[in-house]
């Protein structure tokens, strides 16, 4: 049996792992988009390093686009097999893939628009470029039709040699770790893929559930060598920022957040403050059409959420609705609240500040010393969010340079991944040193190395892109 990682190997984007069994049966675990270089986005994602027609089965761990976003392209290029995932992941994929296609179209149109250059008094217009997309709407529909949903903790015998069992990974609604039981040549092997794991004690989602009885574990390592500093309750952290920014300074608290997962956790926390009578009388805005749609699914799949969320829903009738919360679906409203002088909390996407409506809110508030930009999660190197955290004094947004006078803050309380200790705890509970091999994926080099150091050399290895790992 051979494992080859074609994405999320040496980085945290474009998750894509091919497991080839002795019989030649090929399983693809996740098929995500690679966002490493936005200018080469289409080139980096259009062609696969294998023939999509040769893949027999896909296992999809969760609906984030760096895990599911290239599935329609795989289908477009000839993959006709089943895609195994949970029902909530399938429903979230519908929204996320549609949104991802919209973003691709906007980006492609921008690149294709002729640019006027003024050179030595002469006007010169570049040639229009052809719009290139990875897939079309039809391929999203085909992808969803190929999805076969299974429930958590119900092993599914897919062929006479392969069964799959999904475990709750936490992270976001529907996220699964997959345990594959493979019987070939009278030998049975158990192999686990974590997908992205959630943080312990997260809002809304359960703790990541370990997979027992594994021989091999392919484990995400996003926060290897890093520790979440914050020990405080999420409600207390948000309460303090709202007091400091909105009450004392009459400013705006702008929170960039991923539409799926982080936004719901933040709204739920604000709702808790509201029910505890600790939320001052200010307006809370969520400004992301995708977040609004996804929030409905969190309510629909309440049974999958943690006990705190279920208890709260029983007590108050819902998770996310309260008087002070306003959802903005139209862009005009978004612009209005962004520039209005009233103190408020604005939650908008994208999480690392790369694109999306959050850019406008940052542009309108970043030079205002009474506002706070609260970065509530991981910002990869080179992203706009990361540059702000590094203390950059001026930023350029939509071609306009702005000086940074707003307070730039960050918190880990909404992190959607376990830190170093959390990863160690998870690995220990999923076999630890009894595993035959522990393969680390989904991390930059320093994080993967920090985690690898915790284990004997012969046990643990870091996946390298395109390098075959033989599992016996
Ligand atoms: Zn994820």
pLDDT digits (tens, 9 = 90+) for 264-294: 999 999 999 999 999 999 999 999 889 989 9
Q: Give residue 323 CA to ligand 1 midpoint distance, Å.
A: 31
Q: Give residue 446 CA to ligand 1 midpoint distance, Å.
A: 20
Sheet with 469-470: list strands edge to edge: 147-149, 82-85, 57-59, 26-29, 16-20, 2-7, 469-470
Q: Give the pLDDT of residue 122.
A: 64
Phi–psi pair at 180, nearest 5 degrees: -105, 125
Q: Give residue 62 CA to ligand 1 midpoint distance, Å.
A: 7
Q: Which helix (H) or strand (E) holds 362?
A: helix 358-365
Is the model's pLDDT at 127 over the cut of 80?
no
DSSP conformation class of 115: P
Q: Give residue 40 CA to ligand 1 midpoint distance, Å.
A: 22
Q: Using CB atoms within 10 A of its CB, is residue 269 exposed (0-12), middle (13-18) or buried (19+)?
A: buried
Q: Give the pLDDT of residue 118.
A: 61
Peptide bond into 350 cis (omega under 30): yes
Q: Give residue 395 CA to ligand 1 midpoint distance, Å.
A: 28
Q: Encode 58-76: b = buried (16+ Cβ within 10 Å), e = exposed.
A: bbbbbbbbbbbbbbbbbbb
Q: What is the mean pLDDT of the chain?
A: 92
Q: Give residue 47 CA to ligand 1 midpoint distance, Å.
A: 23
Is the model's pLDDT at 469 over the cut of 80?
yes
Q: Give residue 171 CA to ligand 1 midpoint distance, Å.
A: 7
Q: Give the pLDDT of residue 124.
A: 65
The β-bridge partners of 168 are 176
Q: Give residue 127 CA to ligand 1 midpoint distance, Å.
A: 38
Q: Give residue 4 CA to ligand 1 midpoint distance, Å.
A: 20
Q: Give residue 368 CA to ligand 1 midpoint distance, Å.
A: 33
The β-bridge partners of 286 are 327, 347
Q: Give residue 186 CA to ligand 1 midpoint distance, Å.
A: 36
| 122-131, 186-195, 382-391: segment of lowest average pLDDT | 122-131
Q: Give the pLDDT of residue 37.
A: 77
pLDDT band at residue 38 using 50, 70 and 90 as cut-offs: confident
Q: Give residue 15 CA to ligand 1 midpoint distance, Å.
A: 10
Q: Give residue 149 CA to ligand 1 midpoint distance, Å.
A: 19
pLDDT digits (tens, 9 = 90+) for 61-94: 999 999 999 999 999 999 999 999 999 999 999 9
Is the model's pLDDT at 251 over the cut of 70?
yes
Q: Give the pLDDT of residue 372.
A: 96
Q: Give residue 16 CA to ligand 1 midpoint distance, Å.
A: 13
Is the model's pLDDT at 399 over the cut of 70?
yes
CA 427 distance to own-chain centroid: 21
Residue with the larger pLDDT of the pair 110 and 21: 21
Percent of the chain having pLDDT more than 70? 95
Q: Give the pLDDT of residue 106.
A: 84
Q: Give residue 88 CA to ligand 1 midpoint distance, Å.
A: 14
Q: Give the pLDDT of residue 123.
A: 63
Q: Give the pLDDT of residue 242.
A: 98
DSSP conformation class of 436: S
Q: Which helix (H) or strand (E) holds 105?
A: helix 87-112
pLDDT digits (tens, 9 = 90+) for 168-203: 999 999 999 999 999 999 999 999 999 999 999 999
Side-chain-facing half-sphere of 421: CA atoms under 13 Å? 4
pLDDT digits (tens, 9 = 90+) for 208-228: 999 999 999 999 999 999 998
Whole-angstrom distance, CA of residue 179 vs CA of residue 459: 19
Is the model's pLDDT at 349 over the cut of 90?
no
CB contact at 8 A, 169 and 208: yes
Q: Give the pLDDT of residue 339.
A: 80
Q: Give residue 96 CA to ligand 1 midpoint distance, Å.
A: 12
pLDDT band at residue 398 using 50, 70 and 90 as cut-offs: confident
Q: Give residue 342 CA to ligand 1 midpoint distance, Å.
A: 34
Q: Give residue 262 CA to ligand 1 midpoint distance, Å.
A: 11
| 299-308, 333-342, 350-359: segment of lowest average pLDDT | 350-359
Whole-angstrom distance, CA of residue 291 vs CA of residue 305: 17
Q: Give residue 67 CA to ligand 1 midpoint distance, Å.
A: 7
Q: Give residue 89 CA to ligand 1 midpoint distance, Å.
A: 11
Q: Give residue 28 CA to ligand 1 midpoint distance, Å.
A: 17
Q: Give residue 13 CA to ligand 1 midpoint distance, Å.
A: 10
Phi–psi pair at 419, nearest 5 degrees: -85, -170
User: What is the 3 state secondary structure string of 213-263?
Assistant: CCCEEEEECCCCCCCCCCCCCHHHHHHHHHHHHHHHCCCEEEEECCCCCHH
Q: Give residue 65 CA to ligand 1 midpoint distance, Å.
A: 8
Q: Give the pLDDT of residue 437.
A: 97
């Amino acid at each position: 049996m051979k494992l080859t990682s074609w994405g999320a190997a040496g980085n945290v984007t474009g998750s894509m792992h091919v497991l080839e069994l002795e019989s030649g049966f090929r399983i693809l675990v996740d098929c995500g988009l690679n966002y490493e270089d936005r200018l080469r986005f289409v080139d980096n994602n259009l062609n696969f390093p294998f023939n999509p027609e040769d893949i027999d089965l896909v296992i999809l761990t969760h609906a984030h686009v760096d895990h599911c976003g290239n599935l329609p392209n795989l289908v477009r290029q000839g993959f006709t097999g089943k895609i195994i995932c949970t029902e909530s992941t399938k429903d979230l994929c519908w929204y996320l893939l549609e949104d991802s296609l919209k973003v691709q179209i906007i980006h492609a149109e921008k690149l294709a628009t002729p640019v006027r250059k003024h050179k030595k008094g002469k006007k010169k217009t570049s040639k229009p470029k052809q719009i290139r997309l990875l897939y079309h709407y039809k391929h999203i529909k085909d992808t969803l039709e190929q999805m076969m949903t299974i429930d958590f903790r119900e092993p599914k015998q897919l062929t006479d040699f392969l069964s799959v069992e999904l475990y709750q990974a936490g992270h976001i609604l529907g996220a699964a770790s997959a345990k594959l039981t493979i019987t070939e040549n009278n030998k049975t092997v158990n192999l686990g893929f974590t997908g992205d794991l959630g943080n312990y004690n997260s809002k809304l989602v359960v703790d990541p559930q370990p997979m027992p009885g594994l021989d091999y574990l392919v484990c995400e390592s996003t926060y290897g060598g890093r520790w979440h500093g914050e020990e405080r309750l999420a409600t207390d952290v948000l309460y303090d920022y709202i007091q400091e920014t909105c009450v004392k300074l009459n400013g705006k608290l702008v929170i960039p957040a991923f539409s799926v997962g982080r936004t719901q956790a933040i709204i739920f926390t604000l709702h808790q403050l509201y029910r505890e009578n600790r939320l001052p009388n200010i307006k809370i805005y969520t400004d992301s059409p995708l977040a609004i749609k996804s929030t409905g699914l969190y309510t629909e799949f309440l049974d999958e959420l943690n006990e705190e969320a279920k208890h709260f829903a029983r007590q108050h009738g819902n998770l996310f609705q309260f008087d002070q919360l306003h959802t903005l679906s139209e862009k005009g409203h978004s612009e209005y609240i962004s520039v209005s002088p009233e103190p408020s909390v604005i939650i908008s996407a994208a999480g690392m500040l790369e694109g999306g409506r959050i850019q406008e809110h940052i542009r309108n508030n970043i030079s205002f010393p009474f506002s706070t930009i609260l970065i509530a999660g991981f910002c990869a190197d080179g992203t706009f969010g990361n540059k702000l955290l590094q203390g950059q004094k001026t930023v350029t947004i939509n071609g306009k340079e702005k000086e940074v006078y707003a307070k730039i803050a960050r918190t880990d309380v909404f992190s959607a991944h376990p830190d170093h200790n959390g990863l160690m705890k998870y690995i220990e509970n999923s076999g630890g040193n009894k595993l035959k091999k522990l393969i680390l994926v989904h991390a930059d080099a320093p994080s993967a190395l920090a985690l690898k150091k915790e284990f004997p050399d012969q046990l643990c290895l870091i996946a390298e892109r395109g390098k075959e790992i033989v599992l016996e």
